[in-house]
Structure formats: structure tokens, C-alpha cells
């Protein structure tokens, strides 16, 4: 009987996630002036890689025996402890990712001042405040020893960098910029460190360590936790997509709330699956933080060089 308890949350989460994805894909398919690649091919490819291939690779790298541990929550009503992070996430998505970053960009329009201000705001609202509110006195032990986790990091890092090198735009943008080798020698490690902090630490503490872990404790299902947290990870970006004019970068003539919601689910939520499975299988914060910074290195390298050399 105990083995069947997580089945229902997992089935519900899977049904909701698939329905939300299909509906979002239909919304994007109706967007005018968008090619078939933009409407269907690229989103489905992204889902297959981030929602399928990378989780499968994670499972292969982490299969076998892990440390003994108890996954049962330490409190009697874990569902009540989920309410706080959900309310915080809703407020954060609108007040920070939406209005906050919009105001920040207006106040500091030039680089690198804008990037520094954005990083400080994210650290305050995605690391410091969540840690004070939700992580005081909370500890989780990684499922594997340090040596095994380093092997997982190496394998996933190679896969992430290869994916970005082949299918991403980072190398093309870098070739167009044509930086000197001496510039690359300092830019690559510094850009990686920035992404580890700005993207990795900030997003993984809030979305994996706090939100996904609380959902896992409440539902007793890792599948449900990964899917619900991934949907929320995508949806949290919708206010920013709508308010900050991200539609222009994606070739959409006019923004709308349905487009922002659909785009966040189809194009952003799959990344939450990849990192969500990594967290569920390893429960190592440093691992998901470092890998998140690694996957963002190539896309952000050229903008980083421009920001710090102009």
C-alpha cells in the first residue's frame, strides 16, 4: 500500500503538465508571422532534450546504490509548509521578475551596472530571503558521496556544453564578436563564476532547494515534485516576458498575456525538468548550482565580454 501512495500525485501532475504543454503549444502555433520551426519544431526538440535526454543521462550517471537516508518530512503537516513558498513565488514573479527588473533596467540602462544591480537583486530575493524564511535549521544530505558527485558533474557538464555548442547561438555570437585570446582567458572563468552565482545559485536555491523539495515532501512523489516545480519555474518568468518586452527578442510582433504564459511553459519549463531531475537524483545543491552556471556559459559569454570591455 505504501508504494502506491505517490502514484496519484504523480499521475495528476503528469496529466496537468501534459495538458498545460499541449495548450501552450496550441497558443504559440496560432501566433502570426512565426515559422513552423518556431511554432513546433524548436519547442518539441527542446522538450525532447531537456525533458527527456538530459534526465535520462542523469539517471544513468546516478544509477546504483546511494547513501541511506530518510525521505520522510520532519514535520507533521508538510502541505501547510508548502503554502509559504507558493505565496512567496507568486509575489516574487510579479514584483521582482516583472516590475522590479523593469524598474531596474530603467534605472541602470547601461552595462555592466545593470548586470551588477540585477545580480544583487536576485541574490537578495532568491537566496537570502528564501533562506531566512524557509531554510532556517533545515539540512539535507546529498544522496551520493563527493567523488561520485564529481563524476556526475563532469558527465553532465560535457553534455550541457556540447548541447549549447551545437544547437545554441552562443558560439555564433562569440565568433561575430571575435574576442582576442587574452580576453577569453579571463572572460571564460569570470563569466562562468557570474553565471554560477546569478543563474545557478539564485534559481536553484529558490526553485529546487525550497520549492521542489517542499512539493516532494508534501506529495511524497519525486515525479510530481519535478513536474509541478518545472511548471512553476516556467510560469514565474511569464510576468517578466510580458512586462519587459521579451517578445521582440523572440520575433513576436506583439506581446500578450496568453503568449507570455504559453512561451514560459513551452520554452522555459523544460529546463526545470532537467535540473529538477538532477536535484531529485542527487539532492546536492552545489552540483545543480555549478551545472546551471555551466549550461549558461556559452550563451552569456559574448554579452559578458561586451559588458566588461566597453
The predicted-structure confidence for 261-306, as pLDDT tens digits, reads as follows 999 999 999 999 999 999 999 999 999 999 999 999 999 999 999 9
On whether the CB atoms of residues 89 and 232 are closer than 8 A, the answer is yes
The verdict on residue 73 lying in a domain is no
Give residue 30's pLDDT. 83
Domain count along the chain: 1
> Which of 58-72, 117-131, 241-255 comes out lowest in average pLDDT?
241-255
Give residue 3's pLDDT. 42
Could you please report the per-residue DSSP string of 141-179? --SS-HHHHHHHHHHHHHHHHHHHHHHSSHHHHHHHH--
pTM of model > 0.75: yes
Domain that holds residue 19: 2-67+86-309
Share of the chain above pLDDT 70, in %: 88
The verdict on residue 72 lying in a domain is no
Residue 242: pLDDT band (50, 70, 90) is: confident
The verdict on residue 299 lying in a domain is yes
The verdict on residue 81 lying in a domain is no
SS3 116: helix
The verdict on residue 113 lying in a domain is yes
Could you please report the per-residue DSSP string of 188-238? HHHHHHHHIIIIIIHHHIIIIIIIIHHHHHHHS-HHHHHHHHHHHHHHTTH
Query: In whole angstroms, what is the distance from residue 117 CA to residue 102 CA?
Result: 12
The predicted-structure confidence for 25-47, as pLDDT tens digits, reads as follows 999 888 776 666 667 888 999 99
The verdict on residue 76 lying in a domain is no
Residue 271 to residues 53, 162, 244, 278, 291: CA-CA distances in angstroms?
Answer: 12, 16, 21, 11, 12
> Which of 3-7, 84-88, 106-110, 175-179 comes out lowest in average pLDDT?
3-7
Query: In whole angstroms, what is the distance from residue 196 CA to residue 77 CA?
Result: 34
Average pLDDT over residues 113-130: 95
Looking at every residue in the chain, the average pLDDT score rounds to 89
The verdict on residue 74 lying in a domain is no
The verdict on residue 256 lying in a domain is yes
Residue 215 has pLDDT above 70, yes or no: yes
Average pLDDT over residues 211-235: 95
Amino acid at each position: 500500500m505504501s508504494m502506491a501512495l505517490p502514484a496519484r500525485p504523480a499521475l495528476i501532475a503528469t496529466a496537468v503538465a501534459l495538458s498545460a504543454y499541449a495548450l501552450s503549444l496550441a497558443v504559440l502555433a496560432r501566433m502570426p508571422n512565426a515559422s513552423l520551426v518556431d511554432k513546433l519544431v524548436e519547442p518539441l526538440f527542446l522538450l525532447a532534450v531537456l525533458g527527456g535526454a538530459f534526465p535520462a543521462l542523469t539517471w544513468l550517471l546516478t544509477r546504483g546504490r546511494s547513501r541511506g537516508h530518510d525521505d520522510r518530512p520532519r514535520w507533521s503537516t508538510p502541505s501547510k509548509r508548502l503554502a509559504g513558498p507558493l505565496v512567496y513565488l507568486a509575489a516574487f514573479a510579479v514584483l521582482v521578475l516583472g516590475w522590479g527588473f523593469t524598474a531596474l533596467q530603467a534605472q541602470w540602462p547601461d552595462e555592466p551596472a545593470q548586470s551588477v544591480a540585477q545580480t544583487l537583486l536576485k541574490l537578495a530575493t532568491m537566496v537570502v530571503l528564501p533562506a531566512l524564511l524557509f531554510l532556517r535549521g533545515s539540512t539535507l544530505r546529498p544522496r551520493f558521496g563527493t567523488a561520485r558527485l564529481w563524476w556526475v558533474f563532469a558527465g553532465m557538464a560535457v553534455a550541457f556544453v556540447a548541447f549549447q555548442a551545437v544547437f545554441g547561438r552562443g558560439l555564433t555570437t562569440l565568433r561575430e564578436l571575435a574576442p582576442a585570446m587574452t580576453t577569453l582567458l579571463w572572460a571564460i572563468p569570470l563569466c562562468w563564476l557570474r553565471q554560477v552565482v546569478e543563474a545557478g545559485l539564485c534559481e536553484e536555491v529558490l526553485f529546487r532547494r525550497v520549492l521542489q523539495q517542499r512539493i516532494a515532501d508534501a506529495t511524497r512523489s519525486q515525479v510530481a515534485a519535478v513536474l509541478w516545480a518545472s511548471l512553476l519555474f516556467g510560469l514565474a518568468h511569464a510576468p517578466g516576458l510580458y512586462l519587459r518586452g521579451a517578445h521582440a527578442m523572440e520575433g513576436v510582433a506583439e506581446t500578450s498575456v496568453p503568449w507570455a504564459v504559453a512561451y514560459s511553459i513551452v520554452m522555459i519549463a523544460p529546463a526545470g525538468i532537467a535540473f529538477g531531475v538532477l536535484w531529485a537524483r542527487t539532492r546536492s545543491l552545489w552540483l545543480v548550482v555549478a551545472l546551471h552556471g555551466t549550461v549558461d556559459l556559452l550563451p552569456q559569454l559574448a554579452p559578458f565580454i561586451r559588458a566588461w570591455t566597453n
